[in-house]
Amino acid sequence: MSKARASYIRIGAVHAALIAYTLVALFPVFLTIANSFKSRNAIFREPLAIPTPETFSLIGYETVLKQGDFVGYFQNSIIVTVVSIALVLLFGAMAAFALSEYRFRGNTLMGLYLALGIMIPIRLGTVAILQGMVAADLVNTLTALILVYTAQGLPLAVFILSEFMRTVSDDLKNAGRIDGLSEYAIFLRLVLPLIRPAMATVAVFTMIPIWNDLWFPLILAPAEATKTVTLGSQIFIGQFVTNWNAVLSALSLAIFPVLVLYVIFSRQLIRGITAGAVK
C-alpha cells in the first residue's frame, strides 16, 4: 500500500514537472498568437488574456499585409526550400547509392570527405562563397541560396541515406540485374521506393535549417525581390518596432507554417531523431 502510494506520488511529481516545462515551452508562442488578435490597448492592459469580442482586432494583420510583401517572401522561401530539398534528396541518394552499393578504390575516403560537412558549418566559408557568387553574378538570386543550401544539406543526407541503403537486400538488386535492368533502373525503380521513409526523415531535417536561416539570405540575397520569410520578417519587425500589433501579427504569420508542418510531420521527425541519431 505505502509502496503503491509512493509510486503515485512519484508519477504525480513527474507529470507536474513535465506540465510545468511544457507551459514554459508553449507560453511565449501562445502569448504572441493570442495578442496578435487584440487591439493595441488590450495588448498592454491585459497581455495574458485571450482575445474577447470587445478586444478582438485584425489591425495588425492588415498593416502587415499592406506594408510588407509577405506573399512574395513566402513564395521565395517555398521555392528555395522545396528546390533545395529536392536536390539534396536526389543528389544525396545518388551518392549514397554509389557509396553503399559499389566497392571501388577510394570508397571509404570519399565517404569521409562527404561526411566532413556534417561537423564543419558551411557558414565559415562565407567570405569566399560571397566572392564566388559575385563572380558568377548570382548575388540576389534564389539560385545562390539554393546552391548553398544544397551543399549544406548533402553531407547529412548522404550519411543517413547510405546507412539505410545498406539494408536493401542484395538478392533483390541482383535479381534486377539478371532481368537486364541497368544500374540506373535498379537505383530508380528498386532502391528509391524502398528508402522512401528515410528520404522523408532527411527532408524534414534538411527543411528546418533552410527555412529558418537568416545568415545567407542576409548576405547573398537581401534584395526586396529575393527576401525569404525569415529575412523579410526580421526587417519588417525592425522597421515597425513600435507598432506592436504589426510586430505580433508578423511573428504569428511566421510561426504559422512551421506549426502546420510540425503537426503534419512531428511523428516522422521524432521517429527520425529517436531511431537514427544515437547508435
Residue 141 or 234 with smaller CB distance to another protein: 234
Site track for another protein across 182-221, x = CB under 8 A: xxx--x--------------------x--xxxxx---x--
Q: Which of residues 231-250 bind another protein (CB under 8 A)?
A: 233-234, 237, 244, 247-248
Q: How far apart are CA 229 and CA 64, in angstroms?
A: 13
- Exposed/middle/buried for 103, CB within 10 Å: 0-12, 13-18, 19+? exposed
Tell me the window of 52-60, 65-73, 193-201, 252-260 that interacts with another protein (CB under 8 A). 252-260
Residue 4 or 128 with smaller CB distance to another protein: 128
* Dihedrals phi, psi of 76, to nearest 5 degrees: -60, -45
Q: Does 12 bind another protein (CB under 8 A)?
A: no
Tell me the window of 51-59, 61-69, 83-91, 194-202 that interacts with another protein (CB under 8 A). 83-91
Sign of CA dihedral 209, 213, 217, 219: negative
Cell of 33: 498568437
Among 8, 44, 167, 197, binds another protein (CB under 8 A): 44
Q: Which of residues 107-146 bind another protein (CB under 8 A)?
A: 110, 114, 116-117, 119-129, 131-132
| 68 Cβ neighbours under 8 A, 6+ residues apart | 232, 233, 236, 250
Q: How far apart are CA 158 and CA 87, in angstroms?
A: 12
Residue 53 or 277 with smaller CB distance to another protein: 277
Q: Does 270 bind another protein (CB under 8 A)?
A: yes
Residue 53 or 180 with smaller CB distance to another protein: 180
Q: How far apart are CA 157 and CA 206, in angstroms?
A: 8
Which alpha helices (DSSP H) does the chain contain, by range? Answer: 2-36, 40-45, 59-67, 70-101, 107-119, 126-135, 142-165, 170-178, 183-185, 192-194, 196-212, 215-220, 229-239, 244-272
| 47 Cβ neighbours under 8 A, 6+ residues apart | 31, 35
Minimum CB–partner distance for residue 145 and another protein (Å): 11
Q: Does 102 bind another protein (CB under 8 A)?
A: yes
| 49 Cβ neighbours under 8 A, 6+ residues apart | 34, 38, 42, 55
Q: Which of residues 154-183 bind another protein (CB under 8 A)?
A: 154-155, 158, 170, 174, 182-183
Among 104, 109, 137, 196, binds another protein (CB under 8 A): 104
Q: Does 32 bind another protein (CB under 8 A)?
A: yes
Q: Does 273 bind another protein (CB under 8 A)?
A: yes
Tell me the window of 51-59, 63-71, 195-203, 266-274 that interacts with another protein (CB under 8 A). 266-274
Minimum CB–partner distance for residue 201 and another protein (Å): 13
Q: Does 79 bind another protein (CB under 8 A)?
A: no
Among 226, 230, 245, 249, binds another protein (CB under 8 A): 230
| 249 Cβ neighbours under 8 A, 6+ residues apart | 36, 60, 61, 63, 64
